[in-house]
C-alpha cells in the first residue's frame, strides 16, 4: 500500500515524498480511507504510530478540494484539540509540513505565553486551528475565535485530557461546534469515561484499533542522569567528550531549545546541527545527510523533525528533555539498537521532569538505571535513587573502535 493508492491529492503527495514517506503506517492505512469518505472515526492508537498524519492528511485533502478562501473572509474550518502545549506544537508542525504546497494556513494556540502573537495570527485568517483547551476557551470568551464554521473536529489524546482535568472544558467547547461536522476521536486507552465522552462527540463512527508496538527496544541499554536544568548542557558536553560514540542523536522538546543546544555545543568545538519545523526541507535534508555521512557528529532534533530519521548503527540517543508523553520516549530510544546493532539511550531529568520519568517507567514496566557518578549531580531525587541506582554509566558500543572522532577534543578548534 502506498499513499498514492489512497487517492490523496498531488500537493500532499508531493509533501510526503519530500519527507521520504511512501507507505502509510497501519493507523494511516486504516483511518485515511474512512476519513476520505467523510465518516466519523473512533481510533485507539498510541503516540508514535503515525496518528497525526492519519487525520491531518484527510483534513488537508478535503479543505484543499473546497478551493481557496477569500483572504479577508478566511474562516476556521478545522479544529484540533490536544492536551499539552508540546503536542499542540507538534501537530501544528505536521499540518504545516504535509500542507506546505496547499496554501492552507495553520495556527497553534496554547497557554503559558502572551496571547498577542496568537490573536494577531487569528486576525490574519486561519484555515486550521490547533489548540489546548484552556487557551481556546479563553480566546473564544474574548471574541477572538468563532467555531460556527468548523467542518472537521479532532480530539487528540482524549485519555490524557481526562487525566489532566479538561473534561468540563471539552464538554463546553463541544456545545459551541456546529452539529453538522466530521468528528475524529483519538485515545490510547478506552476507559468507560472516554467511551461516554466519545458518544457525545461522534455520530455513527467507524472504529480503528492499532495495538502498540513493543514497549522497549530489546537491544537498547538505558540510563538516566538527575541533573539541574542549568547544568544539562555541561553534562551533555561531558558525555560527548567521554562516550566517543560514532553518532549521537539529541532530542530537544522545542525548536528554540534545539538551536540553543547546537550553539553551545559549537562553542565547545563539537560539530552539531539542528533539525526542526522552522528549518526548510532543504536545510533539514542537508543536516541529516551530514549526520549520516559523519561530517556532523551530533544531530539535535525535535520529535516532529526526527520522524523518518533512519541512521544505520546509531550509537547513542540522548533525551536532553524528557518527553511529557511516555510513548514518545519509547519511539525516541527505538532510533538506536535497530536490527543487529546495539545502542545506548541516556536521559537527563531535572526537577520538573520527574513526573514524566514516573510515567515512562510505568509504561515500560522498567526501572531505568540511575547514573549517580557524574560531575553535575542533582541529589534531590531521593524517591528514585532509593529504588534504582547505578554508579557505572553504560559504555558506548563504539568506544573501543572509534579512534577518529567527528568532533575535536575539548580545547582544540
Give me the pLDDT at residue 122, please. 95
Mean pLDDT across 382-401? 50
Residue 120 CB contacts under 8 Å (≥ 6 apart), including other chains = none
- How many whole angstroms separate alpha carbon 329 and alpha carbon 345? 10
Res 388: pLDDT: 45
Has residue 19 got a pLDDT over 50?
yes
Contacts of 194 (CB under 8 A, 6+ apart): 158, 159, 162, 187
| Whole-angstrom distance, CA of residue 180 vs CA of residue 182 | 7
Q: How is residue 268 annotated by DSSP?
A: T
Does residue 391 register a pLDDT over 80? no
CB 273 within 8 A of CB 287: yes
Q: Outline where DSSP puts E strands in 8-139.
A: 41-44, 78-81, 106-109, 128-131
Residues 175-185: tens digit of each pLDDT: 999 999 999 99
What's domain 220-385's architecture? 3-Layer(aba) Sandwich (3.40)
Distance CA 80, CA 82 (A): 7
Q: What is the DSSP string of 36-68?
A: HTT--EEEE--TTSSHHHHHHHHHHHHHHHT-P
d(CA 51, CA 235): 34
Residue 347 confidence (pLDDT): 96
Query: At 399, is the pLDDT very low, low, confident or very high (cuts 50, 70, 90)?
Result: very low
Task: List, for residues 104-161, the tens digit of each pLDDT value.
Answer: 999 999 987 899 999 999 999 999 999 999 999 999 999 999 999 999 999 998 887 8
- Four-residue CA torsion sign, 48, 50, 51, 55: positive
* Cα 341 from Cα 413, distance rounded (Å): 32
What share of the chain in percent tops pLDDT 70?
Answer: 84
d(CA 59, CA 154): 10
H or E segment to which residue 208 belongs: strand 206-209
Lowest mean pLDDT across 74-88, 138-152, 186-200, 374-388 = 374-388
Q: Compute φ and ψ for 398, nearest 5 degrees.
A: -115, 10
Q: How many CB atoms lie within 10 A of CB 113?
A: 11
CA angle 394, 397, 401 (to 5 degrees): 130
* For residues 360-365, average pLDDT: 84
Cell of 396: 558506548
The predicted-structure confidence for 243-259, as pLDDT tens digits, reads as follows: 878 889 999 988 899 99
- Could you give the residue range(s) of every CATH 3.40.50.300 domain in the chain? 4-209, 220-385
**Residue range 223-236: mean pLDDT, rounded:** 95
Question: Rounded to an integer, what distance in angstroms lies between the CA atom of residue 63 and that of residue 156?
Answer: 20
Tell me the average pLDDT of the chain.
84
Q: CA 146, CA 57: separation in Å to the nearest integer? A: 24
Mean pLDDT, to the nearest integer, of 212-235? 81
* pLDDT for the residue 192: 83
Give the pLDDT mean for 196-211: 88
The overall pTM is greater than 0.75? no
pLDDT at 373 over 70: yes
- Residue in this structure with the C-alpha cell 520527574, named with its chain if needed: 354
Ranges 54-63, 168-177, 217-226, 338-347: which has the least confidence: 338-347
Name the one residue in this structure whose C-alpha cell is 538506536: 336
> Do 237 and 270 touch, CB atoms closer than 8 A?
yes
Could you tell me the CA-to-CA distances from 410 to 134, 271, 393 in Å, in that order? 46, 12, 21
Mapped onto helix, strand or coil, the DSSP state of residue 261 is helix
Euclidean distance between CA atoms 31 and 60, whole angstroms: 14
Alpha-carbon gap, residue 210 to 195, rounded angstroms: 17
The DSSP code sequence of 338-367 is -TT--EEEEEEE-GGGHHHHHHHHHHHT--
What are 381's three cell numbers?
A: 531525587
The model's confidence at residue 189, banded by pLDDT at 50, 70 and 90, is confident
The more confidently predicted of residues 179 and 87 is: 179
CATH of 4-209, one of 3.40.190.10, 3.30.420.10, 3.60.21.10, 3.40.50.300: 3.40.50.300
Task: Identify the pLDDT of residue 255.
Answer: 87
At residue 215, the pLDDT reads 53
pLDDT band at 339 (very low <50, low <70, confident <90, very high): very low
Radius of gyration, alpha carbons of the chain: 22
Which tops the pLDDT comparison, 172 or 288? Answer: 172
Q: Is the pLDDT of residue 221 over 70?
A: yes
**pLDDT of 402 higher than 80:** no
Nearest to 122 by CA among 52, 185, 155, 74: 74
Amino acid at each position: 500500500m502506498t499513499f498514492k493508492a489512497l487517492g490523496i491529492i498531488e500537493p500532499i503527495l508531493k509533501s510526503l515524498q519530500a519527507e521520504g514517506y511512501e507507505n502509510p503506517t497501519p493507523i494511516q492505512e486504516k483511518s485515511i480511507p474512512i476519513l476520505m469518505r467523510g465518516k466519523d472515526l473512533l481510533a485507539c492508537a498510541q503516540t508514535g504510530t503515525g496518528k497525526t498524519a492519519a487525520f491531518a492528511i484527510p483534513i488537508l485533502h478535503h479543505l484543499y478540494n473546497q478551493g481557496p478562501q477569500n483572504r479577508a473572509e478566511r474562516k476556521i474550518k478545522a479544529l484540533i484539540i490536544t492536551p499539552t502545549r508540546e503536542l499542540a506544537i507538534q501537530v501544528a508542525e505536521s499540518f504545516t509540513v504535509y500542507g506546505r504546497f496547499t496554501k492552507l494556513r495553520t495556527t497553534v494556540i496554547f497557554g503559558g505565553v502572551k496571547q498577542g502573537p496568537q490573536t494577531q495570527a487569528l486576525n490574519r485568517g486561519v484555515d486550521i486551528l490547533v489548540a489546548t483547551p484552556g487557551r481556546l476557551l479563553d480566546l473564544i470568551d474574548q471574541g477572538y475565535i468563532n467555531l460556527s464554521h468548523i467542518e472537521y473536529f479532532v480530539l487528540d489524546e482524549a485519555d490524557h485530557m481526562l487525566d489532566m482535568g479538561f473534561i468540563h472544558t471539552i464538554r463546553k467547547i463541544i456545545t459551541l461546534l456546529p452539529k453538522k461536522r466530521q468528528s475524529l476521536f483519538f485515545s490510547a486507552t478506552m476507559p468507560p469515561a472516554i467511551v461516554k465522552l466519545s458518544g457525545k462527540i461522534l455520530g455513527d463512527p467507524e472504529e480503528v484499533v492499532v495495538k502498540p508496538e513493543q514497549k522497549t527496544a530489546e537491544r537498547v541499554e538505558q540510563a538516566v542522569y538527575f541533573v539541574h536544568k542549568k547544568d544539562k548542557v555541561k553534562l551533555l558536553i561531558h558525555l560527548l567528550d567521554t562516550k566517543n560514540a560514532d553518532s549521537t542523536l539529541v532530542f530537544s522538546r522545542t525548536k528554540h531549545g534545539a538551536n540553543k543546544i547546537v550553539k553551545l555545543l559549537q562553542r565547545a568545538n563539537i560539530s552539531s546541527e539542528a533539525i526542526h519545523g522552522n528549518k526548510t526541507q532543504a536545510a533539514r535534508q542537508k543536516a541529516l545527510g551530514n549526520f549520516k555521512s559523519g561530517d556532523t557528529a551530533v544531530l539535535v532534533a525535535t520529535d516532529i523533525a526526527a520522524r523518518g530519521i533512519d541512521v544505520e548503527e546509531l550509537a547513542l540517543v540522548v533525551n536532553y528533555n524528557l518527553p511529557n508523553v511516555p510513548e514518545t520516549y519509547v519511539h525516541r530510544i527505538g532510533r538506536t539498537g535497530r536490527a543487529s546493532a546495539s545502542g545506548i539511550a541516556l536521559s537527563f531529568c531535572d526537577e520538573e521532569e520527574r513526573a514524566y520519568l514516573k510515567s515512562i517507567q510505568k509504561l515500560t514496566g522498567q526501572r531505568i538505571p540511575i547514573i549517580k557518578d557524574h560531575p553535575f549531580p542533582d541529589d534531590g531525587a531521593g524517591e528514585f535513587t532509593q529504588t534504582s541506582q547505578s554508579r557505572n554509566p553504560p559504555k558506548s558500543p563504539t568506544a573501543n573502535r572509534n579512534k577518529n572522532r567527528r568532533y575535536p577534543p575539548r580545547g582544540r578548534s
